[in-house]
Chain A
Amino acid sequence: MPQYAAIIYSAADVDWTGPEQGAVMADYGAFGQAAAAVIRGGAALRETATATTVRVTGGKGGDVVVSDGPYAETKDVLSGFFLLECADLDEAIAWAAQIPSAWHGAVEVRPVLPMTG
Chain B
Amino acid sequence: MTSPSQELAEVVRTERRRVLATLVRTLGDLALAEDAVQDAAVAALLTWPRDGVPDDPRAWLTTTARRKALDVVRREARRPDKEAGAVRDLTPPADDLPEPSVVDDDLLRLVFTCCHPALSTEAHVALALRTLCGLDTTQIARLLLVPEPTLAKRLVRARRKIATAGIPYRVPRAAELPERLAGVLAVVYLLYTEGLEQDELRAESLRLARLLHGLMPDEAPVQGLLALLLLTEARAAGRRDGTGALVELPDQDRARWDHALVAEGAALALGALRRSADAPDPYALQAAIAGCHATAATWEATDWPSVVALYDALLARTGSPVVALNRAVAVAERDGAAAGLAAVDAVTGLDGVPVLHAVRGRLLRRLGDEPAARASLERALALQPSDGERRQLERLLAAPVTA
Contacts and interface: CB of A to CB of B under 8 A. Distances in A.
B241 to A, nearest CB: 50
B297 interface: no
Contacts of B168: 87-90
Nearest to A3: B166
* B: interface residue count bin: 10 to 19
Nearest to B180: A90
A111 B164 contact: yes
B118 interface: yes
Contacts of B164: 111
B165 A89 contact: yes
Q: Which among A88, A90, A93 has the greatest number of chain B C-beta atoms within 10 A?
A: A90
B170 A90 contact: yes
Interface in B83-107: 83
B400 to A, nearest CB: 58
Interface string B160-182: 00001111101010000000000
A38 to B, nearest CB: 14
Contacts, number: 27
Name A's interface SS: mixed
Contacts of B83: 116
A111 B116 CA distance: 16
A2 B166 contact: yes
Contacts of A111: 164-166
Contacts of A87: 166, 168
Interface string A73-103: 0000000000000111110110000000000
B10 to A, nearest CB: 35
Contacts of B166: 2, 4, 86-89, 92, 111
Nearest to A92: B166
Interface in B356-373: none
Contacts of B170: 88, 90
Nearest to A2: B166
A4 B167 CA distance: 12
Interface in B157-203: 164-168, 170, 172
A89 B166 CA distance: 5
Contacts of A2: 166
A88 B162 CA distance: 10
B115 to A, nearest CB: 13
27 contacts: A2-B166, A4-B166, A86-B166, A87-B166, A87-B168, A88-B166, A88-B167, A88-B168, A88-B170, A89-B116, A89-B118, A89-B165, A89-B166, A89-B167, A89-B168, A90-B167, A90-B168, A90-B170, A90-B172, A92-B166, A93-B118, A109-B165, A110-B165, A111-B164, A111-B165, A111-B166, A116-B83
Interface of B: 83, 116, 118, 164-168, 170, 172
Interface of A: 2, 4, 86-90, 92-93, 109-111, 116
For the complex of A and B, list the 4 residue pairs with the smallest distance between their C-beta atoms, beginning with the closest. A88-B168, A88-B166, A89-B166, A89-B167
Given A87-B166, A88-B168, 10 more contacts: A4-B166, A86-B166, A88-B166, A88-B167, A89-B118, A89-B165, A89-B167, A89-B168, A92-B166, A116-B83
